[in-house]
Amino acid sequence: MNSNVQFVKTLLKYTFGLVPIVAGLDKFTNILTNWSQYISEGLAGLLPLESTTFMMIVGVIEIIAGILVLTKTKIGAYVVSAWLTAIALTLIFSWTYVDVAVRDLVMAIGAFSLAKLSQEGVGK
């Protein structure tokens, strides 16, 4: 059973480490999608900078969060879980891309699960 727990931890670690890094890098290129479309008009109006610049800042945060998962898994997983929850709540409150919000909440649960699995003594 311990080898299964270790396999799951490793799989989640690389998933929640690499995916935020890729998504963060894509904030600079928009190859996967136009990330600015996910900013509601209300939020965009409140920003003191352009939406594309804001998304680049978000990208840097995501890259850091992914690196944190890869290097300090427990804390990084909590950060990614909180980050995904915040994104989901923003989408829900603006009632846009609710399908993405639901997906992000499910991913947040997965990241939270990784954090719990990364506690001392789990899977050893």
Determine contact, residues 79/34, Cβ cutoff 8 Å.
Answer: no
Residue 44, pLDDT score: 87
Question: Are the CB atoms for 100 and 55 separated by under 8 Å?
Answer: no
pLDDT along the chain (124 residues), means of 10: 90 98 97 92 90 96 98 98 96 93 98 94 60
- 117 Cα distance to chain centroid: 18
Q: Can you tell me the distance from the alpha carbon of 115 to that of 101, in angstroms, rounded to the nearest whole number?
A: 21
- 32 within 8 A of 23, measured Cβ to Cβ: yes
pLDDT attached to residue 42 = 85
CB 65 within 8 A of CB 83: yes
Nearest to 13 by CA among 102, 109, 118: 118
- pLDDT reported for residue 121: 63
Residue spans per domain, the chain? 2-117
Phi, psi of 30 (to 5 degrees): 55, 35
